[in-house]
Amino acid sequence: MTKQEKVQFVIDTLAEIYPNVPIPLDHKDPYTLLIAVLLSAQSTDVRVNQITPLLFARADNPYSMAKLSEDEIREIIKPVGLSPMKAKGIYGLSRILIEKYNGEVPADIDALEELPAVGHKTASVVMSQAFNVPSFPVDTHIHRLMYRWNLSNGKNVVQTEKDAKRLFPRELWNELHLQIIWYGREYSPARGWDLEKDIITKTIGRKKVLEEYDKKKTRI
C-alpha cells in the first residue's frame, strides 16, 4: 500500500466501526468541557466522569467556581490525581474568564493556552469539541497508533500532530481524533494487545511493530 492508501484505509475502517463517535468526557458547555479535559490529565475519562458531577453540582460556571476556595476544589477533585495543581488551575482560569472574557470560554486556541493549567492538547480538545474548529489533539492513544501504523515516526506528540494534520483531510480531523482514541482503547491498547483484533495495525502496521509483537512484546 502507498501511504495515501493506508490513510484511506484508516479513514474507511474507523468510519465503519465508529459511524457516530461519542465524546468521552461528560459536559454541557465549553466551560464544563474545559474543566473536564483539564481534570483528565494523567487520569482516566471514567474517573473524571465520576468526579465532575460532584464538582459541577457545586460550580458549573466560572462565577460559581471562583466563589469556592482552591482547597474546596482540591478536596472534590482529589480522586483524579494532581489535585493541588488542577485546583489552582481551575480557580485561576475561572477568575481570568470572569475578568477578561465576561465569563465565557474564548474560541481562540492562543487565548485558551494562556489560561492556567491549559496546555496545547487541552486547548485543542476544546476548540474541536466545543467550537467545532478543526483540530487534532494528540493523546497517548493517537501517538501510539500513528507510530504503529507507520504514519508518524513517534518521536514526540508535536511531530505526531503535524503528521496527522498533514496526512488526514482537515474536514475529518475532529471526528478522526475521537475515532482513533476509541479504536486505541478497544483494539490497539498499550497492554493486553491482541493483533488479531487490531485490523488496522495488522493490515498497515510498521514492520518493526509487527516483529516485536511476534516476540510477545505487548508494549510498543
Task: Determine the Cα–Cα distance for residues 58 and 74; give it in Å rounded to an integer.
Answer: 13
Domain containing 196 — which CATH number? 1.10.1670.10
pLDDT score, position 220: 47
Q: Which of 129, 155, 170 corresponds to the end of one domain?
A: 129
Task: Determine the Cα–Cα distance for residues 99 and 183; give it in Å rounded to an integer.
Answer: 40
Residue 202, all three cell numbers: 495488522
Residues 191 and 207 in one domain: yes
pLDDT score, position 164: 98
> pLDDT tens digits, residue range 16-43?
999 999 999 999 999 999 999 999 999 9
Residues 162 and 181 in one domain: yes
Task: Determine the Cα–Cα distance for residues 194 and 202; give it in Å rounded to an integer.
Answer: 10
Residues 63 and 117 in one domain: yes
Which residues does the chain have with pLDDT short of 70? Answer: 216-220
Residues 44 and 71 in one domain: yes
pLDDT score, position 215: 84
Residues 48 and 116 in one domain: yes
pLDDT score, position 154: 77
pLDDT score, position 28: 97
Residue type, 20: N
Residues 110 and 36 in one domain: yes
| 100 phi/psi in degrees, rounded to 5 | -110, -25
Domain presence at residue 125: yes
Residues 49 and 124 in one domain: yes
- What domain range includes position 68? 30-129
Domain presence at residue 220: no
Q: Which of 84, 108, 129 corresponds to the end of one domain?
A: 129
Q: Return the active site residues.
A: 121, 139
Domain presence at residue 188: yes
Residues 67 and 10 in one domain: no
pTM given for the model:
0.91
Number of domains in the chain: 2
Residue type, 168: F
pLDDT score, position 14: 98
Residue type, 148: R
pLDDT score, position 217: 57
Kind plus residue range of the DSSP H or E element containing 214: helix 207-214
Residue of 140, 123, 124, 108 whose CA lies nearest to 174 = 124
Residues 39 and 123 in one domain: yes
Domain presence at residue 52: yes
Residues 152 and 122 in one domain: no
Domain containing 107 — which CATH number? 1.10.340.30
Domain presence at residue 219: no
Residue 171, all three cell numbers: 474536514
Residues 17 and 76 in one domain: no
Residues 125 and 156 in one domain: no
